[in-house]
Amino acid sequence: MNIESGTVVSFHYTLRDAEGVELESSRGDEASVYLHGHNNLMPALEAAFDGRTVGDVFTVELAAGEAYGQRDPGKTRRVPVKHLAFRGKLRPGAVVQLNTSEGMLPVTVIKAGRHSADIDTNHPLAGQALVFDIEISELRAATAEELAHGHAHGPGGHQH
């Protein structure tokens, strides 16, 4: 079986920045799962999966524009601290979650006061080139329900 539109793909990845510093990894954890061909990954990353099969190991390098985009210096704002989800102390440079009408959004704290905080709503990885080391662990055909929803279900996928 090779990856094509409608394949549910399980994979492990290690994400590094352009200097080779590891940012996150799924190894030792649950594999990531997505439905191929339904815009569930960054397009340049998804294209690199096309036609691959189980056991394939490959590296994908994305320019900032293909990953989380360029930093927009205008995307800073002041919000009430109660709209932020974080553990410990709110301090400059910390990445916390902003509660928005579309769900939780990772943001970076610029300045924290007692009741309000200045935050940068650019994605924390905006402006960065990224390198993914990928290993495909499992493939299966999507169910009719997954195809209708446009995403994978079950462990590692959408749970609803």
| Sign of the C-alpha dihedral computed for residues 28, 49, 65 and 20 taken in this order | positive
User: Position of tokens 């080139």?
Assistant: 129
Q: Examine residue 38 and tell whether it contacts Zn ion (CB under 5 A).
A: no
> For residue 101, what are the CA distances in angstroms to 38, 83, 98, 112?
24, 11, 10, 22
Q: How far is the CB of 4 from Zn ion (least distance, A)?
A: 20
Closest among 4, 66, 1 to 37, alpha carbons compared: 4
Q: Single out the segment in contact with Zn ion by CB under 5 A; choices: 34-42, 58-66, 88-96, 141-149.
A: 141-149
Q: Examine residue 158 and tell whether it contacts Zn ion (CB under 5 A).
A: yes
Of 21 and 148, which CB lies nearer to Zn ion in the complex structure? 148
Q: Examine residue 149 and tell whether it contacts Zn ion (CB under 5 A).
A: yes
Of 71 and 153, which CB lies nearer to Zn ion in the complex structure? 153
**Where does this chain bind Zn ion (CB under 5 A)?**
149, 158
